[in-house]
Structures are given as C-alpha cells and as structure tokens.
Amino acid sequence: MVTAPHLGVIMRLRSLFFIGAGLLAFLSLGSAAGLFWMSTQFQSRTTGLSDSIERVHSAEQLAHSLFLLQVVQEFASIHASDMGPPISVVEARRRVSEMLTRVEQYTDTPQERALIANARSQVETYLRAPAQERLSTLRGAIEATAAVSASSIDRARAVRDETTRVSDAARLLGGLLAISIVTGAALVLAATRTRLYLPLLSIRQALAAFKAGQRESRVAQAGPLELREVAAEFNDMADTLVSQDARHLQFLAGVAHDLRTPLNTLKLSTELLLRAPTPPPPEKLRESLLRISAQLDRLNRMVGDLLDQTRIEAGNLELRLEDTDLCTLVREVAELHRPLSQQHQIELTVPDGPVPVRGDPTRLIQVLTNLLSNAIKYSPLGGRVRVLIEQSQEEVLLSVSDEGVGIPPGEYERIFAPFKRSASASAELPGIGLGLSVSRRIVRAHGGNIEVVSQEGAGSTFRVRLPSQVPLA
C-alpha cells in the first residue's frame, strides 16, 4: 500500500488548487512583466543609440560643410570671372545651417546644448566675418564643431555601454525567469504527486486489496482534507464490515450451539423411547413427549426470531392492527409460562377492566413471551417475576421485573442490538441475542418504546410504553 508522506499542514483540495494556480499565475505575470521591461529598455536604448549615431554623423557633416564652404568661398574669390565652383556659396552656407539644426535636434543634456550653442555662435561668427578674417574664425568654428563631434562620440559610446549592460541584465533576468518557471512547475508537479496522486493511489490499492479479501487493508490518511475524509470513511466502512463479519460468524456459532442443545435433547429422548425393550408407562411417555414438545417450541421460537429479524432488516415487518385488550394478552402469556418453572412465581398486577391498545395481538404476544421467558431464563435461582400494567392519559405502561442476574449500566442499549447479549449472561444460558432486538422493533412499530433499568446481581425491569387507545374519563 502506497503511503503519502505527511507534510504537516492539512489543507482542502480547493486551497491546494488556488495555491498552485496562484503560483503559476504569479510566475506568468512575472515573466510578462520581465519581458515588457526588457522590451521597453531595448527600445529605449536602441532609440538612444540611433540618435547618438545620427548626432555623430550630423556633427561630422557639419565639419565637412564648413570645410566645403571655405573652399567654395576661396574658389569664388580667385576665379570670379571664370566658371564658378560645383556648388554656390549660398548652397554651401545653407548646408552648414542645416547641419547645425540637425545636430541640435539630437541634443538632450545641458552640456550638449552648451556645446552646440558655442558651435552655432562660432559658425555664425565665421559666416559673418569679412574675407580677411575668415580663416581665423574658421579655426574657432572647426574647434567648436570638433567638440560637438567628440561629445557625440562619447555619448554614443555611453549609450552603447548602457545597452550592453541592459542586454546582460536581460539575459540574466531571462535565465532567472526560466529557472523560476521550471522550478515552479516542478514544485506544482511534486505537490500534485505528493498531495493528490499518492493518496489517490493509496485509496485505489486499498480498495483493490479489500476487494481481493485482505480485510485488514486500510488507507493512510494523507493529502488534502477531502481525501483524508474519504480515507477515514473507507476505514470506518472497512472496520464496520469486518465487525459485521465477526458478528455474523459469532451469530452462526451461537445459532449452531443453540440449535444443537434442543436437537440433542430431542435425539436423546427419541432414542430412549426407541431403544426401550417395552413401551414406557404412560407417565414416563408423557414426560418424554412434554420434553420433546418444549424443545420443539424452543426451536420454533428461535427460527421465528431469525425470520423476524430478517423481515425487520428488509423492512417487511407486517402488523395487523386491531383493538386489543392488553390485560387479556398478559394473562394468556402468564398462564402459558407458569408451568415452565416451579422455582418462579409469576405475579400479575393489572387493572380489573380492559386496557385497550391498538396493535397486532400476535406481535404483542411475541413481545410479552420474550420478556417473560427472559425473566425466567436470567433468574436461574428462581424468584418472583412481576408483571405490572399501568394506564395514564397518554400511554399504557407494561413492566416485567425479575430477581435475576441483572445487567451492567453500560449495556442498557447494547442488549437491544442484534446478536448482542449482556456480559452477565453465562454461557450455559441459551440464546442468540435476537429476542430483545426484535421486541424493540415491534414495539416501536406500534408507536411505543421499550427500555430497561437494572441492578447487576439484583434483577432487571423492562418497561414497554404503548400509546393509550381510550383516554381515561
């Protein structure tokens, strides 16, 4: 049998599901957030790197445009009457202004703005300078432009380094996310195996083993609370079935023992009659026949109890209700039991008039017979057996008291269970433990109840309560 380890905290299946789903959702959201952050950072760094490259290119183009302007202006001054330069001075100046504007578009920091402002000032000074001062002002414009170009290159390198750091961080974050997802999935799978699969496998194996006849098979209570409850229910059911099997075996042994006693008596009585060389005297023959009749009555009562218990368990107990005088039934049953024992005195205390009840006379006689026979049987030393009938506005109370072995207080309810007898009953006292169970079912079917009060070693009193049929005036 597979036993799932105990992890300490007992949770419901729904809680485990929410925890697993929450863990996976957290990992999924974390992965999405990480991917979004990496995408945003890459986009920002890529844009910055592109702007830096464009600024470097624009700064270089600015320097080139200045040199070109100087060349065009010198060419124009030397060859004023000849064919002009490839581009006009105006076009060259326009290119210089355009490059300045482009460099300014990619300027963000205050330091860069200061450099580009200085470059513009130097370029404009150069553009406004007369011909004889252009060369000297050109040097200042070129130096300012070179400073802008160097700043742009430094910025591009810084953006490149930052992009590299972001790329490394993104790779690290991606690796951590991958490890987290794999670890989370592994934890969910491990928890599912430990908390769900192994307990379910344990239950399945225990069911299969129990079905195969291994009645000692039980399920270890592990996993979520629902599976523990299933395991506990199975174990309780298995214990109940094993207990029922034991009771059935005990019942069969008791039935076999109780049947053997009257059968042996019948066999012995008939063999004595058959082996006698001459017919016995009428008195002896009558005694033998009375013993045979008593044992047959006992067998018939035992079989009747078994059949009644079977009908009760199947829900087929039939009652033929009619108006009945309980006093008459008690007198009849008492007269039938008086000859059974010379050691017992049956005393009746009943009203002079009738005590009507609505019931099945045959079943009520069965209850009275069982109570009186038990009173005699469990008083092996003899004594008084008192039968009392009392009537009130709501109910009729029938009491049967004896002076026998009594019943321990802890067994008052146990003796009404099928196949159960009091621990004070010795093995020599016959019975299979069905009479009181059947009697209680019959009385309850009449709308009443049966209860017992007793003192161990001093006797017992069984009280039958039935609804009163005719209210007292």
The per-residue pLDDT for range 314-360, each reduced to its tens digit, is 666 778 889 989 999 999 988 888 887 788 889 999 998 889 999 98
- Which whole-number Å values give the CA distances from 62 to 92, 215, 382, in the listed order? 11, 98, 136
Checking if the pLDDT of 1 tops 50, the result is no
Number of neighbours of residue 342 by Cβ within 10 angstroms = 8
pLDDT at 472: 43
Checking if the pLDDT of 404 tops 50, the result is yes
Q: What percentage of the chain has pLDDT greater than the value 70? A: 82
> What is the assigned CATH class of domain 317-467?
alpha beta
- For 26-40, write each residue's pLDDT tens digit: 777 777 777 777 777
Considering the four listed CATH numbers 1.20.120, 1.20.1300, 2.30.30, 1.10.510, the one that applies to the domain covering 13-198 is 1.20.120
- For 111-167, write each residue's pLDDT tens digit: 877 887 887 787 778 777 777 777 777 777 778 778 877 877 887 788 788 878 878
pTM of the model: 0.47
What phi-psi label fits residue 115: left (phi over 0), alpha (psi between -120 and 50 degrees) or beta? alpha
- Of residues 169 and 254, the one with the higher pLDDT is 169
Which tokens hold the place of 241?
């079935």
pLDDT at 56: 77
- For 253-308, write each residue's pLDDT tens digit: 666 766 666 677 677 778 777 777 777 788 877 777 777 777 777 677 767 767 76
**Over the chain, what is the mean pLDDT?**
77
pLDDT at 103: 75
Provide the pLDDT confidence category of residue 423 given band limits of 50, 70 and 90.
low
pLDDT at 138: 75
